[in-house]
Amino acid sequence: MKFGILINEGPYTHQASDSAYQFTKAALEKGHEIFRVFFYHDGVNNGTRLTVPPQDDRNVVTRWSELAKQYQLDLVLCVAAAQRRGLLDENEAKRNGKDAHNIAEGFRISGLGQLIEAGIQADRLVVFGD
Amino acid sequence: MMDDENSGGKIKKFLYLNRKAPYGSIYALESLEVVLIGAAFDQDVSLAFVDDGVYQLVKGQSTDGIGMKNFSPTYRALEMYDVEKLYVDQASLEARGLTEADLLVPVEVLDSAQMAALMAEQEVVFSF
């Protein structure tokens, strides 16, 4: 089965982002394909490398980066949602005259068309949100 | 052109399920942004308004008092994007003291069984 994953909530404040990670990891371990993981609304906050959780807790951002590396996952943050919430990659930072960028390893920024494409190409699109 | 590149010519039934009030959170506005971008892909698109989502379509919205952008005129422009299938949940309307006459665009009002049938026939459901 080919899955598309949509995550609409940020890390730590909401279960949706943890559930999405567990689902994605379990699907990959069972041999399914993940066409793309798309982060929208506050979900884009899953992709900031400036997250510093307490040491005795899970690191939501890092574990996505590691999963992406292991399985060549396509992790995409919506550009409009990301810009609203202060998530920029190097190019976006430059283009908007900002002095820093904060995208974690394994994530990339792109448009909502990537979400629609995931809906078209995947056998199932699973939404994690409120 | 875009859909040749990204959809491989496939046409699927997409449903945007709008469940949140237009203001107070960003879900409704960002959902509308997906609909507008998605329109370029030439898919079979339906929008459903359920629960507080029915407030998104209420006529005469004014956001002056809360300092947010009033994006309700965009629903009237959806027709130009060939997004013409708008469905509203009857029970959600009634629970909020609204009727079809209170809405700013033409819609089809569905009872719960019809709404369930609409959802069941979709291939992709975005729930916002």
CA distances for B63 relative to A124, B59, B70, B71, B73, angstroms: 37, 12, 6, 9, 12
pLDDT digits (tens, 9 = 90+) for B7-60: 667 899 999 999 999 999 999 999 999 999 999 999 999 999 999 999 999 999
CA A88/CA A23 separation, integer angstroms: 27
Distant-in-sequence, close-in-space partners of A15: CB < 8 Å, separation ≥ 6: A9
Question: Which of A78, A82, A104, A125 is the catalytic position?
Answer: A78
| pTM of the model as a whole | 0.93
Domains in chain A, number: 1
* Residue A56 C-alpha, separation from nearest chain B C-alpha, in angstroms: 32
Mean predicted confidence (pLDDT) in A102-116? 97
pLDDT digits (tens, 9 = 90+) for A1-60: 999 999 999 999 999 999 999 999 999 999 999 999 999 999 999 999 999 999 999 999
Sheet containing B85-89: which strands, arranged edge to edge? Answer: B108-110, B85-89, B44-49, B13-18, B124-127
Chain B residues with beta carbon closer than 8 angstroms to that of A112: 33-34, 37-38
Chain A residues with beta carbon closer than 8 angstroms to that of B125: 125, 127
- On whether the CB atoms of residues B54 and B92 are closer than 8 A, the answer is yes
- The pair of structure tokens assigned to B11 is 């046409």
pLDDT, chain A, mean? 97
Q: Do A116 and B26 touch (CB under 8 A)?
A: no
CA A34/CA A31 separation, integer angstroms: 10
CATH number of the domain residue A114 falls in: 3.40.1260.10
- Domain segments of chain B as ranges: 21-127
Please determine, for residue B1, whether its predicted confidence score (pLDDT) is greater than 70.
no
- On whether the CB atoms of residues A5 and A37 are closer than 8 A, the answer is yes
A97 belongs to the catalytic site: no
Which residues of B touch chain A, with CB atoms under 8 Å apart?
A: 2, 6-8, 10, 12, 14, 26-27, 30, 33-34, 37-38, 40-41, 43, 124-128
pLDDT digits (tens, 9 = 90+) for B88-104: 999 999 999 999 999 99
Identify the domain containing residue A83 by its residue range. Answer: 2-128
* Sequence letter at residue B35: V
Residue of B nearest to A122 (CA): B124
pLDDT score recorded for residue A130: 83
Q: Which CATH class name applies to B21-127?
A: alpha beta
CA B63/CA B74 separation, integer angstroms: 14
- The pair of structure tokens assigned to A40 is 């929208």
Give which of B2, B4, B6 to mutate to test A binding, by max A Cβ within 10 Å: B6
Extract the runs of DSSP E, i.e. beta strands, from chain B. Answer: 13-18, 44-49, 85-89, 108-110, 124-127
